[in-house]
Each structure stands twice: as structure tokens, then as C-alpha cells.
Amino acid sequence: MTRQAWSAVAGAIAVMVAVVVIIVVASVPLPEFPPITPGQFDASLAYVAETNCVRAVDLADAEVRELHCVSERDWIDNVVWTEAGIEVGVEGFQSTIVVLDPETGDVIETRNRDGAYPGDWPLRDQDLFIDIPSDGTIVIRDEHNQVLITLVGPEMYGIDTLVGASDRQMVALVDSSQRLAVFDRDVGQPYLIDTDARPYPPPAWKP
């Protein structure tokens, strides 16, 4: 190689190293969610994981259970926790509603979907609002405009799903990093449940 070629290689490496250093320095950490501890809350939640599986967590013992998985050819487009069990809408290769036992994950019933959604999409309208001010923070407010939590994260960070429980106390969120966390409206600190949650379909609280 000529001297010019060596200079070019050295210059190219220096440029790429400089870019990597700038990116590392510019990075802003994600908001910290401490892990949930047993006995902290008394509620249960079902959600869909990135693995195409339905999971449930009983916040009382903070234990996550994988209940049911669907094939990669299908996708879960709705999860509702009803008195009958956890109703899961499955689309794709099949088009069914599967009702799961919340404790064991056993399939209680499988019925043809015929275009219907399981349950009634209850409590999806929670009067919860997400503000994203220009300073990069994310503010979650209730219907009285009261600030419930404020999260400070990187520019691309966001809250993809926000679901309140029927007791209007607990709230579940899935952020843009697929982290599922829950918080009490009166406490305002989210606690981490899972790092592998899908925002859609939204998690479903046990009624």
C-alpha cells in the first residue's frame, strides 16, 4: 500500500472512533425501574411477550408465569382477563378465541372467532394522558391533570402502552424498550415486571 493509502486508513479509523466516542458520550440512560418485590401490590396482570406467548403475573408474589404460546404463523391481537379466564384472540393461520386458566395456563375453551373480539375491550379508556414536552421528559397525567409520574429518558424513548386497572389505582405501562412496569397512582414509582413485553395487544388487568 502507498503512503496515501495508509494515511487514508488511519484517517478513516480515527473518524469512526471519534463517531463512536461521541455516540457513547451522548447516550442518555433509560429511566430506572426497580424490580417489583413480593407483597408490594395486590393485583394480577396478563400480557403478551415478544416470544408470542401469553404471560401472567401475580403482583402479590411477583412471579411471572408463561401460560400459553402460539405458533410463529399466528399472532395474538387481543388479551382480556374476564371472570371466565384469560381470553386470547389469535389471528393468522387460525382465527380463534382461546380461554386460558389464569393459574395453570390450561386451555379451558377454544371457539371460532367469526370476527369477534374477546371481551369488550374493558377499561381501555382510562383517562390517562401522556405528555411529551419538548425537554425530552415524559409526563403521565390523570383525568384531573395531576402528574402521576415523570420519566426522563433518551430522545427516542417513549411509552407505547398505558393501561389502568379497574380499581383505578394500579397502572401498567410498556415502554419503547419492551419493559413492562406497574405503578400505583399514589406512589408514582414504576416497578419492573418484565423486559420482553409487547405493547400491543395491551396488557390486561384481572378484574
Partner 1 sequence: MGTADDLRRWVEAGLIDEDTAARIGEHESRRKGGERVGRGTEAVAYLGAVLVLVALAILTAEFWDRIEPWGRFAVSAIVTGVLIGVGWLLGRSTEPAVNRAQTFAWFLAVGAVALTAGVFFDGIVKTDAQDSFLWVSLISLVATIALWIARPSTLAIVAMAFAAWAATIAIISRFDTVPDWTFGLAFAGLGTAWFLLTWGGILRPTTASYAISAIGILFIAFPEGSHMPWPLLGLAGALALMALSVRLNQTVLLGFGVVGLFVYIPMTIFELFEESLGVPVALLITGVALLGVVVGTVRFRKEVQT
Contact residues: partner 1, CB under 8 A? 1-2, 4-9, 11-13, 15-16, 18-19, 22-23, 26-30, 50-51, 72-73, 153-157, 176-177
73 versus 144: smaller Cβ distance to partner 1: 73
Q: How far is the CB of 68 from partner 1 (least distance, A)?
A: 17
* Residue 168 to residues 18, 82, 112, 114, 148, Cα–Cα distance (Å): 50, 17, 33, 32, 12
Q: Which phi and psi angles does 54 have, rounded to 5°?
A: -90, 130
Q: Please choose, from the candidates 19, 29, 32, 24, the residue with its C-alpha nearest in 3D space to the C-alpha of residue 154.
A: 29
Min dist CB 195 to partner 1, Å, is: 11
AA letter at 74: D
Closer CB to partner 1, residue 4 or residue 146? 4
By CB neighbour count within 10 A (0-12 exposed, 13-18 middle, 19+ buried), where does 101 fall? middle
Which residue reads 414536552 in cell numbers? Answer: 133
Q: In this complex, which beta carbon is closest to partner 1, that of residue 5 or of residue 145?
A: 5
Collapsing DSSP states into helix, strand and coil, what is residue 15?
helix
- The minimum distance between CB 61 and partner 1, in angstroms, equals 28
Query: Cβ closer to partner 1: 34 or 136?
Result: 136
CB of 86 to partner 1, least distance (A): 24
